[in-house]
Amino acid sequence: MESSSDLSSKNMAVLCTLAERPDGGLRVVLDDVRRALDSDTWAHERLFTYKDYAPGNLDDVATLSEAELAEFGFNILVRLLASNGHGAQ
């Protein structure tokens, strides 16, 4: 597999994180981040979207439907393409 460091990447990315909710559930957060023009540092630009899960709902990822998993991937790819000037706009 080729290392991503060997390729020139775009200036916008989607950061995926997990946040613990006070009720014990988890929040999956997708944020836009942008690379600084003069360095390889990234800075938060805006919240893209998030989804909350009740306690225990993500203990076994196999409990998520194929459609829900596909939706995550779709949202990330569409966001990356649109924010980097590719795809239908």
> pLDDT per residue over 36-77, tens digit each?
877 778 999 999 999 999 999 999 988 889 999 999 899 899
CB of 78 closer than 8 Å to CB of 69 = no
Average pLDDT score over residue span 13-19: 93
- The letter for the amino acid at 1 is M
Output the pTM of the full model: 0.78
Give dist(CA 44, CA 14) in Å, integer. Answer: 10
What would the CATH number be for the domain defined by 4-83? 3.10.450
Residue spans of the domains in the chain: they are 4-83
- The letter for the amino acid at 73 is G
Task: Give the distance from CA 21 to its chain's centroid.
Answer: 18
